[in-house]
Amino acid sequence: MRMYTKSGRSRWPLVIGAAVVVIAVGGGIAYTSTRQEVAPAAAPTSAAPTSTPTTTATAPSDGGTSGAGDGNAGAPPTGCLGGQDRDAAMVLAAQTAAPHSAYGAVEAATAFYRFLWQYPYPSSRDIASVSSSVIASTASKSWKDIAGSYAAAGNNPTQGTITAGVSFHVSTTNGLWRVSEDSTSDRVTVEVAVGYVVDGALSSTKVAGIGLVMVWENNAWHVESGTVIDQAKLAAGGNRFTAGC
């Protein structure tokens, strides 16, 4: 998937702009309550809601517009921590390996999204494993019930962005990530935009996005809730994964 124009300018702002509904809703389709928690009165429209981040007392330290929480330990996010697979073993491996830093939160969040956003859905055993090990103790009941969310979505989790019943997953190749400015050392809001792989082919036009609030508990990153991404900031100032898969 070429993500640059002939002039060398990134195509991400154009692609994201053309897929506003996907980005605003994509990560929350399976979790219909996520949209209600973030914006109870808002319905999906052609314009994505945006958040207004607040600046913490400690300025981010990653040198960009994406907040850094407690700083960046280790290498920048690869987008592929835990391996190429999209099963529970991959998510748990990423969670174990992710350091207590903004980079670690991004890797853990991305691994969870790669697992979550695919069809056909993961096995019931893998769903139960991720639900019990990766979702935070402070998460809402709906976030803990991944199986129930899949059941409610049926064979059309993207609500028509991908044709119902057609297999898909997401790829971090050419993907973007951002950490919001209000993140702290133990609570990091991660925004991710990734490409759809439909029937084995990476789409040049379809983009999925998600905002996840990650909390550090029991010496590992856990998913607590979802949030609406700031599309403009992610498109203009997001960081690319160093590898991708």
pLDDT band at 72 (very low <50, low <70, confident <90, very high): low
Longest alpha-carbon distance in the chain = 48
SS3 180: coil
The arithmetic mean of pLDDT across residues 75-86, rounded, is 96
Q: Sheet containing 187-198: give its strands across.
A: 220-227, 201-217, 187-198, 168-179, 239-240
Whole-number Cα distances in Å, 107 to 29, 76, 114: 22, 9, 11
Which one-letter amino acid corresponds to residue 206? K
Comparing 47-56, 104-113, 188-197, 198-207, the range with the smallest average pLDDT is 47-56
* Residue 9 pLDDT greater than 90, yes or no: no
Q: What is the pLDDT of residues 219-232, one digit of tens each?
A: 999 999 998 888 88
Average pLDDT, the chain: 76
Domain range summary for the chain, segments of one domain joined by +: 12-240
- pTM listed for this prediction: 0.77
Q: Which residues of 111-136 are buried (b: 16+ CB within 10 A; e: fewer)?
A: bbbbbbbbbebbeeebbebbbeebbb
For the chain, percent of residues with pLDDT exceeding 70: 70
| Structure-token match 């160093």, residue found | 242
Q: What is the pLDDT of residue 17?
A: 44
**Phi-psi label, residue 187: left if phi above 0, alpha if psi -120 to 50, beta otherwise:** beta
Q: Strand locations in the chain, DSSP E?
A: 168-179, 187-198, 201-217, 220-227, 239-240
pLDDT single digits (tens) 187-221: 999 999 999 999 899 988 888 889 999 999 999 99
DSSP annotation of 177 reads E
